[in-house]
Structure 1
Amino acid sequence: MRFFWAFIWAILISAVISYVLASMAGSTFDVTSTFVVAILVSLAVFILGEGVLKSSEEQ
């Protein structure tokens, strides 16, 4: 369930960032790039959360 919510938040945050940057640049909002960024952010969160970053209790 935590992966689901992390992906939803990644989509929402990526959409906001993409919309703001597109409007500042005067270009159109691209949904495809929003989902690509959301997937990349989600993968980074999953990899860091499950493998790379360990709490002091697990070491």
Structure 2
Amino acid sequence: MRAFWTIFWSLLLINMVSYVVANMQGDTYNYVLASIIAVVFAVLVMLIGEALPNEPVEKH
């Protein structure tokens, strides 16, 4: 379920940013490219989340 929500929010937010930036530059909005970037971003976020330790670090 975490993967679904991560992909859902990344698709929503990256497409929104892509739409706004394309309009500000006077360019055309490309849904497919924005969606590909969003999925890659979601995978990277999930990999970073899995790589971080869950245990608290002891004070040194």
Give the TM bin, normalised by the shorter chain.
0.7 to 0.9
> CA separation in 2, counterparts of 1:40 and 1:54?
22
The aligned residue for residue 16 of structure 1 is 16
The aligned residue for residue 37 of structure 2 is 37
User: CA RMSD of the aligned region, Å?
Assistant: 1.0
User: Structure 2 stretches of 5 or more lacking a match?
Assistant: none
The one-letter amino acid paired with 2:55 is S
The aligned residue for residue 52 of structure 2 is 53
Shift of 1:45: 1.0
The one-letter amino acid paired with 2:36 is V
User: Structure 1 stretches of 5 or more lacking a match?
Assistant: none
Shift of 1:32: 1.1
SS, match of residue 3 in structure 1:
helix
Bigger CA radius of gyration: 2
